[in-house]
Each structure stands twice: as structure tokens, then as C-alpha cells.
Structure 1
Amino acid sequence: MARSVGRKGDSYDNALVESVNALYKKEVIGQEDSWNDVAEVMTTIAELIYWYNNERLHSWCGHRPPLEFEQDYWHDTPEQPPAAA
């Protein structure tokens, strides 16, 4: 992906990153009044990532989790021949 605006290293200049950051703030940060320590935040983030990729139902995927959709895709896709050397 190419960045659109901002300086090198800014994550907020990309619409995809902005939507992920918004989800993270809404689903993780905004759900707690306070955090006990960094480990608690990291564990909660890991749980969100697991849910997002493995359990969340997505309409584009036919209301299936993204990982299940991808596994079915690769299972049903014929193996490609090796590239010529």
C-alpha cells in the first residue's frame, strides 16, 4: 500500500489503518475504564485479533469467519504448477 498523506511512520494516513485503529479503540480501549498494566492490554489485543480473524462473521465472506473463508478458498483452488526456472 502507498501512503496518501503524512510523514513516514504515520499510521493514520491510510484509510485501512484508520478503520482498524477505530475498531481497536472502540472494541478494546473504550471498553475499560482503566488498565492495570501493559500485559493486560496486550492480552486483550491478542484476544481481539483472534476473534477478528477466527470467529467474527463477515458479510463479504457469506457470514463466515475470514479464516474459514480463506481455508475453503485455498482448499478449492487447484495447485499452481511450479514457476519456470
Structure 2
Amino acid sequence: MKSTIGLFKTELIKPRRPWRTLSQVELAIAEWVDRRLHGEIGHIPPAEYETNYYFTATKPQVKTTS
């Protein structure tokens, strides 16, 4: 958890200060979380993983008979 908080501060909080409003911080955090690469899902952003999942889940499967 400490490494995640460190990355959060290094990548988002410190470079973009000073923050003017709480709304700016909330939006920036949501965007940061959405684009973070996640090891559990193949080091891709969550939005990309979700798109890939639905693309393959809804793709009709072709079955052949012999």
C-alpha cells in the first residue's frame, strides 16, 4: 500500500499542485485510477481491459462440424 501511495503522490499530487478546489482533486484522482496500469489484468488500463473483455465476450463463436 505504501508504494501505491508513493506513486500516487509522485505521479499526480506533487506535479499538479497547487490544487484550487476539492473537485479538481477528485476528478484528477478518478482519471489517474482509470488510466493506471494494473498487473493483475495484464498491465493495461482498466478501461482498455473492459473494452477488450466485452469485445471478446460478445463476439459470436464460429463452430464447425466435421
**Any unmatched runs of 5+ in structure 2?**
58-66
1:64-83 counterparts in 2 under 5 A? 64-65=43-44, 67=46, 68=49, 71=53
Match 2:19 to one of 14, 35, 47: 35
Q: Greater relative contact order: 1 or 2 (C-alpha under 8 angstroms, separation 6 or more)?
A: 2
Relative to structure 1, the CA distance from residue 38 to residue 21 in structure 2 (aligned partners, 3 Å threshold; closer, same or farther) is same
Q: Which runs of no fewer than 5 residues in structure 1 stay unpaired?
A: 1-16, 76-85
Superposition misfits of 4+ residues, deviation over 6 angstroms: none
Distance 1:65 1:32, change over 3 A: same
Contact 2:12-2:32 within 8 A present in 1 as well: yes
In 2, the alpha carbon distance for the partners of 1:48 and 1:23 equals 11
TM-score (norm 1): 0.46
Give 1:6-25 correspondences, 5 Å limit: 17-25=1-9
Q: CA RMSD in A?
A: 2.9
What percentage of aligned pairs have identical amino acids? Answer: 23
